[in-house]
Copies of this chain bind each other. A is one copy, B any other.
């Protein structure tokens, strides 16, 4: 298979290279008849624009970079995986490709930005795992590099576009489900105060209980099955009439189930993230719409990249959904 360039197409269609380029990039400037002839030639020859050459002229690569993190030590690791798949799909539909990189910490990641930008002319970045005092966003913003975060900028000003999942509404839905099935004493098993996500999840539970004029106790521990089990034991022992637990993660929920079983307590449990573990053991869990989140990230990116960016940054908050299984 010979290399088919714009010149091959031009020859076949009997026009100049420039006309072919116009058909590709500004079709409306070419006479209809010519346009058709060129399109036929393109189809017959199976021509595809060469990104490298285009990139050299335009300075744009149609490449988007995302960091792939080490599969978290645990149970919640597949979240990024699913997001990545969705992003790759959405990017492909928009004519972009996703490039992966790894980084050991924020500074290393910023060094990687420099490398990717100067070597590959990356068009944009999608950041995940945003956190308090995140230096990455200000670095990118300071250089006017298009980016979107999946996760809101905790504690920082909302100066860029982001997509996030409404954590509070997830635990609210979980709590309401438990209320609807007759539970009246519903505890919350979460993380220590201070993490944006964790606080939001606790808040959602508290709000739903408040709306029903009920009270509930909560515990905050580091994420993990064992820590969850220990905390649940404490909670259940202190509150003999607690019949349900809303948890900030599937790990904690798994621990809670263990504790309840050991104690011979009948206790409904709802986790968060709908991980493989939840699916495997039949744990009812709050599921994040990851494919949609990825799609929205791509939408925002396209706005940025096509120059038709809105004057103000856009923020998208997606509602999670409750996946009912055996535990609640």
Q: Is B53 touching A68 in the complex (CB atoms < 8 A)?
A: no
- A52-B52, A52-B121, A71-B276 known; 18 new pairs, CB 8 Å cut-off, are A49-B119, A51-B52, A63-B99, A68-B88, A70-B82, A70-B85, A71-B78, A74-B276, A74-B280, A81-B81, A88-B102, A92-B101, A99-B99, A99-B100, A225-B280, A276-B276, A277-B277, A277-B280
Q: Is B68 touching A84 in the complex (CB atoms < 8 A)?
A: yes
CA distance in complex: A49, B56 (Å): 13
How many chain-A residues does the 8 Å CB contact rule pick out? Answer: 52
The chain B residue with its CB closest to the CB of A73 is: B279
Does A181 sit at the interface, judged by CB under 8 A? no
The chain B residue with its CB closest to the CB of A104 is: B89
Find residues 292-313 in chain A having any chain B CB closer than 8 Å to their own CB: none
Measured CB to CB, the closest approach of chain B to A287, in angstroms, equals 12
Does A120 sit at the interface, judged by CB under 8 A? yes
CA distance in complex: A280, B102 (Å): 25
The 7 closest A-B pairs by CB, nearest first: A48-B118, A52-B55, A81-B81, A98-B100, A52-B52, A88-B100, A75-B280
The residue from B77, B98, B119 contacting A99, defined by CB atoms under 8 A apart:
B98
CA distance in complex: A63, B89 (Å): 19
Does A251 sit at the interface, judged by CB under 8 A? yes
Known pairs A254-B281, A277-B280; A68 contacts B52 (CB<8 A): no
Bits for A59-71, please: 1 = Cβ < 8 Å to B, else 0.
0010100001111
CA distance in complex: A116, B99 (Å): 13
Does A19 sit at the interface, judged by CB under 8 A? no
Does A131 sit at the interface, judged by CB under 8 A? no
Does A161 sit at the interface, judged by CB under 8 A? no
Does A115 sit at the interface, judged by CB under 8 A? yes
Measured CB to CB, the closest approach of chain B to A288, in angstroms, equals 12
Does A97 sit at the interface, judged by CB under 8 A? yes
Find residues 256-288 in chain A having any chain B CB closer than 8 Å to their own CB: 275-277, 279-281
The chain B residue with its CB closest to the CB of A95 is: B119
CA distance in complex: A116, B68 (Å): 21
Does A50 sit at the interface, judged by CB under 8 A? yes
CA distance in complex: A4, B85 (Å): 35
Known pairs A97-B99, A99-B97; A277 contacts B75 (CB<8 A): yes
Known pairs A51-B119, A102-B88; A71 contacts B77 (CB<8 A): no
Residues of B within 8 A of A102 (CB): 85, 88-89, 92
Residues of B within 8 A of A98 (CB): 99-100
Q: Is B61 touching A52 in the complex (CB atoms < 8 A)?
A: yes
From A101, A277, A280, residue with most partner B Cβ within 10 Å: A280
CB pairs A–B below 8 angstroms (16 shown): A48-B118, A49-B119, A50-B119, A51-B120, A70-B85, A71-B82, A71-B85, A75-B277, A76-B276, A77-B78, A78-B78, A78-B81, A98-B99, A225-B281, A254-B280, A277-B277
